[in-house]
Amino acid sequence: MAKWSGHLEKVDDYRWRIPRNYKPGMRVPGLIYADENMLQQIREEQALEQVANVAFLPGIVGYSLAMPDIHWGYGFAIGGVAAMRLKDGVVSPGGVGFDINCGVRILRTNLTEAEVKPRIKELVNALFTSVPSGVGSKGKIRLRAGEIDEVLVKGSRWAVEKGYGRPADLETTEEKGEMPGTDPSKVSPRAKERGVPQLGTLGSGNHFLEVAVVDQIFEPDTARVMGINQVGQVMLLIHCGSRGLGYQVADDYIKEMVDAMRQYDIDLPDRQLACSPVESRQGQAYLAAMRCAANYAWANRQCITHWVREAFCRILGRREEEAGLELIYDVVHNIAKIEEYEVEGHREMLCVHRKGATRAFPAGHPSLPQKYAKIGQPVLIPGDMGRVSYVLVGTERAMQETFGSTCHGAGRVQSRTAARRHLRGSDVLKELEVRGITVRAESLPGLAEEASEAYKDVTAVVNITHHAGISRIVARTRPIGVIKG
């Protein structure tokens, strides 16, 4: 794919603007969070063209935003944020993506690397066996007829009521794992048919479970509030989404909105951006269905959390109270949410699309659990499987500039096909073992696709968000065990 050669205006060392006149039809400029080095990588592909295309969407406010992990997607770039006014703005299923509420959560433990490392192979094997993963994987949860609707309405709470996890988990999940405003009748029978057998599965692609170790703490006081107390402390990460149910919801509504665009006389440079007015019948139906899919994803991560805790305690010979295993936080990467922001001097409700971006609310925000009222929302940024991951917190500046959003991960730089050509899964596996990382993967070629070489350096990504002030780095972890779907 060709390089992007459009003109960018430098705002400061970490901000670059795509002027509104770059393309006739842009309603707002684009704003990219990046440094010079990152920008060179970003310009290698067409992500910035996609940022400009998103600026065409009716009702968009401020900027079409790009986080430093931005990379070429379909429709929206991955790492994009766009907020639309409710009164004349649109909602776009492509601005959320197919994997609705793909997200990540992190559990803390009371154990150290010295205690876990000697059993890491058994632990990784136990996690691999306990959590179904891979292409076409089916779960072990059996739902009663119609019970899927309860999952779609209650999300994490459904899982906790069934005995998967702890009531306290709900407090430390974005939206408490249960987005209101659902309507299961807006989710097609086909989506439910895909969702029923897949509940409690990791999936494939970039989804993973990780056993990690804290290797640096940047803000000890903030970290302590989250229960991150010392270097060497073991953490567990879970990254997955809404599986086939979410993909089908996206398919169904993209199709419907492609047709509806004619009705609403909306013309866009890319059909994948298909949208409808937020307040329209189609817009409201999509949001209700999307929230159902988001709740399904939370129930999914909640069930997986339960099996992860069981496996961890069994292999390490600890009771749950001893092991800790509290959920620090769970964040969403792909979502559209109605949130309130200051726009041109007054408060306004906006429909904020985050496509490969993380909410990053500051201290004092009413949506945060009491526990984090003084430090801000924990933001979890997983790196690739061979490198580090970060815990950050949200900031006031994110509220002012990015609709309370920041980056979501490392961001790919190499295509899957290129990674397969250049790397062999078995070599990647060996190299990780040499570096002390135990890996179990459903597919070896799949492992090659997820190798470090295929990703940006997550440290460079989070440093940009930190220096730009849209989130602050609190702690860093490195992997010692990885399960890939």
Partner 1 sequence: MRRYRLIEHTADIGLVAYGQNLAGAFANAAYGLFSIIAELRAVREVESRTIELREKDREGLLFEWLNHLIYLFDVETIIFKRFDIKVFDGQRLEAICYGEKYDPSRHHLKLGVKSATYYLLKVDAEKNQVRVIFDV
Amino acid, res. 75? G
Distances (CA, A) of 98 to 173, 183, 356, 405, 425: 21, 19, 11, 20, 27
Q: How far is the CB of 73 from partner 1 (least distance, A)?
A: 6
- Candidates 408, 422, 466, 467; catalytic one: 408
Amino acid, res. 441? A
Q: How far is the CB of 410 from partner 1 (least distance, A)?
A: 11
Q: Return the number of the residue (48 or 106) whose C-beta is nearest partner 1.
A: 48
Distance CA 39, CA 13 (A): 11
Q: Return the number of the residue (362 or 446) whose C-beta is nearest partner 1.
A: 446
Q: Return the number of the residue (120 or 268) whose C-beta is nearest partner 1.
A: 268
Q: Return the number of the residue (274 or 316) whose C-beta is nearest partner 1.
A: 274
Close Cβ partners of 255 (under 8 Å, ≥ 6 residues apart): none
Q: How far is the CB of 278 from partner 1 (least distance, A)?
A: 21
Query: Catalytic: 408?
Result: yes
Distance CA 97, CA 76 (A): 8
Distance CA 349, CA 356 (A): 22
Q: How far is the CB of 105 from partner 1 (least distance, A)?
A: 21
Q: How far is the CB of 175 from partner 1 (least distance, A)?
A: 23
Q: Return the number of the residue (79 or 324) whose C-beta is nearest partner 1.
A: 79
- Please give the residue ranges that form the binding site for partner 1 (CB under 8 A): 1, 45, 71-75, 78, 94, 97-99, 134-136, 190, 193-194, 197-198, 203-205, 244, 247-248, 250-251, 254-255, 258-259, 270-272, 274, 412-418, 443, 445-446, 449, 485
The catalytic residue positions are 408
